[in-house]
Structure 1
Amino acid sequence: MNKYSITLCIGLMLSIQALIADVRLPQIFANGMVLQRNQPIAVWGWADPGEQVKVGLNTQQQETTANADGTWKLTLSAEEAGGPFQLVVSGKNTLTLSDVLIGEVWICSGQSNMQWTVANSDRAEQEIAGANYPQIRQVEIPRKTSGVPLDDVEEPLEWKEANPQNVGNFTAVGYFYARELYKQLNVPIGLINTSWGGTIVETWISKEALEKDKSLKRAVHVFEQVPADTVRKNTDPNHYPTLLFNAMINPLIPYTIKGAIWYQGESNAGRAYEYRKSFPMMIKDWRKRWGLGDFPFYFVQLASFKAAGGISATGSTWAELREAQHMTLSLPHTGEAVTIDIGNTDDIHPRNKQDVGKRLAAIALHDSYGRDVVYSGPVYRKFEINGAQATISFDHVNGGLTTKGADKVVGFEIAGADKHFYPAEARIEGETIVVSSPTVTKPKAVRYAWADDPGKSNLFNEEGFPASPFRTDNWTPATKNAVYELKN
C-alpha cells in the first residue's frame, strides 16, 4: 500500500468516526415541526456511547447520557400551545431546529383514500388558493417496505405549511380534518401522513402482535422462512405481513402524538369477518408501542361503491367490512365517520373529502376536546317485532330522524325465517323506524344499507349525519371462512 493509500484510509476512518460522534435525531425532527401540547414530549436519537446530550426547548432544558449502543432518549416537560421555538440538541456537536410549534399532532394513515391529495379532491383549485394556514403543517413519510423494524426513515423529512404552494400534496382527509380542528381550537395542527394506497391491514401490524393470534401467526411463520435478501428486494407492501409497520410506523415511535385518523379497509373486504380481529389488533398494537395509553383513534367507514355488486341476497363483503369497522367502536376512544352518502358508485376514490374531514373532526371535538357537538348519525340500538311489523330504535337521533333525497325512507330490507330479504316499506315514527313488507308476514330480521353500494339509503338525523348500516340478524357472513394466508 502506498503512502497516498494509507493517508486516504486514515482520512476515511477519521471521517467515519466523526460521523459516529455526531449527535443525531430521527428524521421526523426537522425545522417547522409540530410537537404535541400538554403532554410530556419524547425526544430521542443517537450519539457516542456515554456521550452527554442536552436538549433545550422554550425555557426548559434536559440532559441525558447515551447508552452503550449509542441510543439516547429523554422526556421534556409538557408545553402549552405556542411557538415558534427552537429545539436545540447538543453533545459533541449542536443541532438547532427552528420554527418549532407546539399544538396537536395527528397520525394520518391507511390506504389510497387517506393518501388522496387535496389537488385531486372536489373544488381543488378553490381549496388550494384559499389555503392560508401556516400553523397547519404536514410531514409525509416515504413509502418504503422493510422486513425488519427500522429505527428511522432513510431520507430527510420536511414539515410543510398549508399554503397554496404546498397544500395540493397534503392528504385531503387529513387537511380538511386539521382545518376544522384549527378553526375550533386555534392551535397549531401537525399531520404525519403515513399512508399507502391499496394496502391491507396486516402490513400495518407488528410481527409480535400478529404472532399472538393462532391463525395470523401462520402467515408470519411462512414469512420468516423467506430469505432476507428476497424480502429486502420486495417493493410490494402487501406481499408479506408487517412490512409497513416496520418501515412507516416503527420509525415514528415514540414521537408524542394526540392520536390517529385512519381510512382503510377496501383491500380487506374479501376477509371482512377476519377484520373484526385484525383491525382492533392493529389499534391496540400501536397504542401499546407508543406508550401513550388509549390515544384517540378515529376511522372512516367505507363509502358506497359498486365493488362486486354485493347485496343481502348474494352477500356483500363491503357491508360486512363496514360491520367489522363498526364493531371496533367497542375499544375506548375510537370513533367512526359514516360516509355511505358521499361515495361514488363508479369510483372507489370519492372526491368529497371535505365532509369526511368534517365528520372526523366532529368526533375529535367531542371525544378528544370535550366539546358539546353532534358527532354521529343514528346508530341501531334494538328492534321489536309486532305482528308483521318491526320497530327499530336508535341512539344518536339528535333532533329527530329524517330523510334526504326522497320523501320516503329508502334502504331497509326485511326477512323471515327463510333468510330471504325483501325491500321494506319504512316510515318514521318519532325516534323509531317501522318496517314491513307484504311478502314477509312473520319478520325475523331487518337490514339497512346492507350492500356494497348503499348510496341511495337515506336515513339521517336532523343534524345531517347519516345512519350507520346495520343488520339485526347474526346469520353466517359471506366472508366467515376467508383468512389471511401467505404461501411459501
Structure 2
Amino acid sequence: MFIRIVFPLYVLACAVSLDCQAAVFLPDILGDNMVLQRSRPITIWGTADPGEAVHVAFLGQETSTAADEHGRWKAVLGPFEAHAQPASMAITGTNRIVLNNILVGEVWLCSGQSNMQWTLEQSDGGEAAIQSADHPQIRLFNVSRDVAFKRKAGKLASWEACTPATARDFSGVGYFFGLELYQELGIPVGLVNSSYGGSQAEAWTPVAYLAASEALRPCIEREKIWEAERPRVQASFDKAKEEWKVASAQAEAEGKPIPREPRVPDALRDYRIAASIYDNMIAPLLPFAIRGALWYQGESNEERAEQYELLLPTMIRSWRERWGQGDFPFAIVQLPNFRKAAPEPADEAWSHIRDAQRKTFLQVPKTGLIVTIDIGEADDIHPTNKLDVGHRLCLWALSEVYGRSATWTGPVFRKARFTGNKAILTFDEVGAGLRSGDGAPLRTFATAGADEQWHWARATIKGKRKVIVWGDGVVAVRYAFNNNPDRPNLSNDTGLPASPFRTDNWPGPTAGKR
C-alpha cells in the first residue's frame, strides 16, 4: 500500500540516521561554497541534542542559541552587505562545523518543470557557454529530483562554484539569467535549481493550501483514487513493458523502427502526487533566505487550465507564507507558441494556461510575466532557446527588483471599450509607444459577437497606447490566442512581444475540470 509519509524538516535536515542527534547537523542547503542573501536576516538552522548550546560565527557577527526539546535549533545573523571575498562560518556545539568559501550576494530559486530543468548543455549555444562558464562568483545548487517518501542517509545536494563542469548540467534558463545578473550587478550570485520535468503545480503546493479550497481539493483526492488503483495499474504497466521489450527486440532484429515505450501512468509517478515535490524539494530549503523565484511551468496542467487560474496564485502564496520573507519577487515564464499553427481562431487549453499566467501576473503583487510567444517551437515542447528566456527574466529583475529604470516587457493589455463595430483597447507598458514589431499590419487579433464565434479581425494602432479592432457586432477581442499564433507582432520600443490576452471571460475547453 502506498502511504504518504511527510518527515519533519529536522529529520530531513540530518538525513535520517540512527545517531542524527548525537551532534550538530546542518541541512544540505547550508554548506561550503554557498551564497547568502545580502540585506536580509540570515537564518542558520539544524539539529543537535535537546538543550545543546549552539554558537554561530560569521563575518564578525556571533550569536548563540540552544536546541529545543525536539533537537531543533536556529540562529539569526545579519543582514550583511554583499561580500565577494570567500569567508568561513563556524557552528559549534558538542562538535564543530566550519563552512568555507562562502559569499554574500543575490540568491534566486529556479523552479518549475522540464523547461526549467532543461540543461545548459541541451540549450542553443550551450557548448560555447559551457566552455566559458568559469565564474567563481556564481554558485550553483542543484536540488536532487527525489520525491521518495523515505529519505536515504547521505547528502542530497551541495553548493558548487560555477565551472564548465558544474554549469553543463545546470538549468539553461537559470544559468543565462544568473550570468547576466552577475554581469550587471557585479556581486556574487547564488542559483538554486529545484525543478522536475513533467510536474504539475499541485505537486509543488503544500497539502494544507490545496485542502483549504473546494476547487483544489480534487488534487488531493486523486491520490486516494490512485492508491486504490495502483496494484492493478502496476500489473498492467509491467505487462505492457514486457510486451514492449519483446516487440522492440523483434523490430530491431527485422530492421524496423522500435515501437514507442509505454508511458508510465500517473498513478505510478510519485511526482504527480499533490504536495510530493513541495515536501521533498522545497520544504527542505526553508527558511534559506532568497531574493526571489523564477517559475517555468504549466505544460502539465494544460488539461485543467481553468483550475490553474486558482492553483498558481495559491502556490505562490503558499511559498511566500512558508518562507516567511513576505511577498518576495516571483517571475512567471508564460508558455511559448507550440504545436501546428491553426488557420482560424481557436479555443485551446494551452492558450488558457497562458491566460491563467497572465491573470496571475495582474492579480498577484510583485510578480512578473515573461512572454515567450515568439521563441517557441511548433514541434517541440522544449524550445532550445533558453538564452532569451534568461535574458527577459533578467530584464524584469533589473527593473522591478533592482530599480533599474527600463521597460522590461512588451505591451500589457489593460482595458477594452466597445462601441458599434469596433473595440478600443488600451495597454500599459508601452514604452515610447505601441508599434508593429515587423512593420507589417497587426496580426492575430480576433473578434466575436454575442454568438461567441471567432473571426480574424483588422487592427490598427492609434496614438501611443491604443489599438482599434474592427468586427461586426464585436463584444470580445482576443490576441495571439491560438496555441501557435501566426507571427503576432504587437510590440513596443523594446521589441519585446505583447502577451496574448482576451477581453472575454467565456468558459474555455477545460471549464469544470478538476
Using the size of structure 2 for normalisation, the TM-score is 0.85
Query: Is 1:193–2:225 an aligned residue pair?
Result: no
Query: Is 1:102–2:107 an aligned residue pair?
Result: no
1:437-448 correspondence runs (5 A): 440-448=471-479
Shift of 1:265: 0.2
Distance 1:264 1:397, change over 3 A: same
1:361-372 correspondence runs (5 A): 361-372=394-405
Moved over 4 A (4+): 16-19, 224-228, 309-314
SS across alignment from 1:166: helix
Deviations 1:76-107 (A, max 9, x none): 12111113110111111111110001011111
- Bigger drift between 62-71 and 128-137 goes to 128-137
Shift of 1:464: 1.4
Q: Distance in 1 between matches of 2:303 and 2:147?
A: 23
1:39-188 correspondence runs (5 A): 39-82=40-83, 83-147=85-149, 154-188=154-188
- Alignment match, 1:8: none
- Bigger drift between 408-417 and 284-293 goes to 408-417
Q: Distance in 1 between matches of 2:293 and 2:147?
A: 21
Shift of 1:299: 1.1
**Matched length:** 460
Q: Report percent identity of matched pairs.
A: 42
Deviations 1:424-477 (A, max 9, x none): 1222222222222xxx42222111001111251111111111101111122222
Q: Distance in 2 between matches of 1:45 and 1:227?
A: 34
Distance 1:225 1:25, change over 3 A: farther
- Alignment match, 1:472: 503
SS across alignment from 1:340: coil
Cα RMSD for the two superposed structures: 2.4
Distance 1:99 1:311, change over 3 A: farther
- Bigger drift between 360-369 and 38-47 goes to 360-369
Distance 1:441 1:223, change over 3 A: closer
Using the size of structure 1 for normalisation, the TM-score is 0.89
Shift of 1:140: 0.5
2:443/2:486 contact within 8 Å kept: no
Q: Which runs of 5+ in 1 are unaligned?
A: 1-15, 484-488
- Bigger drift between 107-116 and 154-163 goes to 154-163
Identify which of 343, 350, 354 aligns with 1:318.
350
Q: Distance in 1 between matches of 2:403 and 2:129?
A: 29
Deviations 1:241-294 (A, max 9, x none): 111011101111111111111000011111111001110000000111111111
- Alignment match, 2:333: 300
Q: Distance in 1 between matches of 2:169 and 2:296?
A: 17
1:202/1:241 contact within 8 Å kept: yes
Query: Is 1:433–2:467 an aligned residue pair?
Result: yes
Query: Is 1:411–2:447 an aligned residue pair?
Result: no
1:340/1:455 contact within 8 Å kept: no
Q: Distance in 1 between matches of 2:371 and 2:289?
A: 28
SS across alignment from 1:55: strand
Counterpart of 1:67, as a letter, is D
2:48/2:72 contact within 8 Å kept: yes
Counterpart of 2:422, as a letter, is Q
Deviations 1:199-244 (A, max 9, x none): 110100011111101132244256469879x89x987244421110
1:311/1:450 contact within 8 Å kept: no
Shift of 1:153: 8.7
- Bigger drift between 152-161 and 241-250 goes to 152-161
- Alignment match, 1:32: 33
Distance 1:19 1:343, change over 3 A: closer
Query: Is 1:354–2:356 an aligned residue pair?
Result: no
1:377/1:460 contact within 8 Å kept: yes
Identify which of 431, 438, 462 aligns with 2:493.
462
Counterpart of 1:322, as a letter, is R
Counterpart of 2:482, as a letter, is A
Counterpart of 1:255, as a letter, is F
2:90/2:98 contact within 8 Å kept: yes
Q: Distance in 1 between matches of 2:194 and 2:153?
A: 12
SS across alignment from 1:342: coil
Counterpart of 2:48, as a letter, is A
SS across alignment from 2:440: coil
Query: Is 1:291–2:305 an aligned residue pair?
Result: no
Counterpart of 2:60, as a letter, is T
